[in-house]
Amino acid sequence: MIEIENITKRYDKQTVVNDVSMVVEPRTIAAIVGTSGSGKTTLLRMINRLVEPTSGTIKLDGVDNHSLPDYELRRSIGYAIQGHGLFPHRTVAQNIATVPLLLGWDRERIDERVDELLKLFQLDPADFGPRYPHELSGGQQQRVGVARALAAKPNVLLMDEPFGALDPIIRTKAQEDLLAIQKHFGTTIILVTHDMEEAVHLGHKIAVMDGGKLVQYARPAEILAKPASSFVETLVGSSERPFRLLSLGRVGDAVEKGSAEGEAIPADASQRDALAELLWTGKPALPVKDTDGKALGRVTVDGLVKLAARPA
Ligand SMILES: Nc1ncnc2c1ncn2[C@@H]1O[C@H](COP(=O)(O)OP(=O)(O)OP(=O)(O)O)[C@@H](O)[C@H]1O
């Protein structure tokens, strides 16, 4: 759990983070969004003390982050940034092993961990472990950056625009990887992003920053349905709202009784994807199947349109 209490950062007369309080529950992802210069990175960096606050406290699992030396704190918190920051003269395996080595893990445990993480990120350890960062694609470097941040099994992972430089297809893949890994390890994650789509997709909660202030902190559905101010409404993008709402729901929750012709949609697909498929095929309904291929019923355009409307 991360508890941020009345945290403020001032540079001379400029207040860049202004009395922010928020709690990130264990094993959840909080996405921080906001305009450029709104204080997102500064807030994130006060958690691992790359930036010292002017006032306020931050507790990690109940412990004040000033109760131990900053280098020790940083070894216990994963940190992944845009551009991944890999050491160019160290191999992929050596990069991932950085923090476990500092923590004094034995060789065997480190090798096991490196292999485990590379496999988890779908990089063959024998092939990729000995390579240098410049021998990888941007997307692969990105995955190694996140693997390195996770190497010492941190309870907390801070991510600053980690997928910013990736093309849309690789970005989607990296997001799915992150969700899978977050479930697997139960890591608590704070993710800074410019991309509202990404925030809605990944965040259990979304924190909206404006001019150093936290203007709303709520679940994605609530941010979409009840933006706290016109600023949040603009950020959410009013023309995108119904589609973003649908992207939060699964087809399994929109199943209706009855049958339909055509290729079945999996129950775990998003409602947004189902609507896209319905519109594209020009059909009013399509069958829905579960992961075992069992027929569950159908999903209809009319049903989805109702779900995309502003919640009461
Ligand atoms: N070391 C510093 N000294 C003085 N001002 C700083 C310093 N670091 C950040 N700032 C200022 O603090 C404000 C917030 O910066 P920050 O990087 O936290 O914003 P951000 O929301 O992450 O922006 P972006 O989305 O553009 O990365 C900016 O106006 C920035 O110029």
Tokens standing for 217? 């902190």
d(CA 275, CA 261): 15
Side chain identity, residue 214: L
- Please tell me the predicted confidence (pLDDT) of residue 83: 66
Which amino acid would we find at residue 233? E
Residue 255 is predicted with a pLDDT of 93
Write the residue with the smallest CA distance to atom 31 of ligand 1. Answer: 37
Task: Please state the rounded mean pLDDT for residues 175-198.
Answer: 88
Q: Is the CB of 38 under 6 A from ligand 1?
A: yes
Question: Would the CB of 13 count as within 6 Å of ligand 1?
Answer: no
Q: How does residue 2 score in pLDDT terms, banded at 50, 70 and 90?
A: very high
* Residue 236 exposed, middle or buried by CB count within 10 Å (0-12, 13-18, 19+): buried
pLDDT at 109 over 90: yes
Residue nearest to atom 5 of ligand 1 (CA): 11
Q: Measured between alpha carbons, how far is 144 from 121 in angstroms, rounded to an integer? A: 8
Lowest mean pLDDT among 2-6, 80-84, 295-299: 80-84
Instruction: Output the CA angle 141-126-90, nearest 5 degrees.
Output: 45
pLDDT of residue 84: 63
Name the residue with the closest Cα to ligand 1, atom 6.
11
pLDDT range class, residue 93, cuts 50, 70, 90: very high
Q: Token pair of 13, please?
A: 């007369």
Q: How far is ligand 1, taken at its centre, from the CA of residue 112, in Å?
A: 39
Tally the C-alpha atoms within 13 A of residue 60's C-alpha that lie toward its C-beta.
22
For the segment 112-168, what is each residue's pLDDT rounded down to a tens digit?
A: 999 998 988 888 999 999 999 999 988 888 889 888 988 888 889 999 988 876 777
In this prediction the ipTM stands at 0.95
Stated pTM of the model: 0.85
**212 CB near ligand 1 (under 6 Å):** no
42 lines ligand 1 (CB under 6 A): yes
Report CA(159)–ligand 1 centroid distance (Å). 16
By the 8 A CB rule, do 251 and 301 touch?
Answer: no
